[in-house]
């Protein structure tokens, strides 16, 4: 089983491998698995992380990416995906984002550097026109590979 979330994956392996609980054998197996799933889902406060094949697709929980603390947390979670979880193919889906500040752009730039340093590929998609205007004005549309939607982004790998 491919480790999904570092220490959480090791917890899952230990729990199942101990023989004391398995998804099928444990009387509360469904609860165990559900609990693990809930823990995994809440491991990222700012992101929703899913996999489509070997591509990691990220959605943002905050429609407005503005406050310094949130941007710091968001940055740390994105960096964790690349540096700790070693995700090589990453799509950031901005469909839930209706506003972001320049500080958020800074985190994306740093993420891009980390992805490249780890020989990975990063694509952005579903950016609404006003936010795309921000990327265009700052010329960051030349730095990032921006696709119209998630399907286009996934097909481009």
- Shortest separation between residue 91's beta carbon and another protein, angstroms: 21
Of 33 and 81, the one with the shorter C-beta distance to another protein is 81
Give the interface segment with another protein, choosing from 10-18, 41-49, 52-60, 140-148 (CB under 8 A).
140-148
Residues 6+ apart with CB under 8 A from 17: none
Does 67 contact another protein by CB under 8 A? Answer: yes
Indicate which single residue of 103, 114, 145, 152 sits in contact with another protein (rule: CB under 8 A). 103
Residues 6+ apart with CB under 8 A from 99: 63, 64, 65, 66, 131
Does 107 contact another protein by CB under 8 A? Answer: yes
Q: Which helix (H) or strand (E) holds 30?
A: helix 29-42
Q: Which helix (H) or strand (E) holds 57?
A: strand 55-60
Do the Cβ atoms of 129 and 97 come closer than 8 Å? no
CA pair distance 104, 130, nearest whole angstrom:
15
Give the interface segment with another protein, choosing from 12-20, 61-69, 81-89, 149-157 (CB under 8 A).
61-69
Instruction: Count residues near another protein (CB under 8 A).
Output: 22
Positions touching another protein (CB under 8 A) are 66-68, 99, 101-103, 105-107, 109-110, 112-113, 130, 134, 137-140, 142-143
């Amino acid at each position: 089983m491919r480790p999904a979330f570092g220490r959480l994956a090791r917890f899952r392996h230990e729990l199942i491998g101990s023989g004391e609980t398995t998804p099928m054998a444990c009387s509360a197996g469904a609860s165990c698995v559900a609990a693990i799933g809930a823990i995994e889902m809440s491991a990222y406060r700012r992101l929703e992380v899913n996999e489509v094949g070997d591509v990691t697709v990220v959605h943002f929980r905050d429609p407005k990416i503005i406050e310094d603390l949130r941007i710091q947390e968001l940055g740390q979670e994105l960096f964790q995906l690349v540096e700790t979880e070693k995700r090589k193919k990453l799509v950031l889906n901005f469909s839930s984002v209706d506003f972001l500040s320049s500080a958020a752009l800074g985190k994306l730039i740093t993420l891009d550097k980390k992805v490249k340093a780890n020989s990975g590929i990063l694509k952005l998609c579903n950016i609404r026109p006003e936010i795309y205007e921000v990327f265009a004005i700052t010329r960051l549309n030349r730095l990032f590979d921006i696709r119209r939607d998630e399907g286009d982004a996934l097909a481009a790998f």
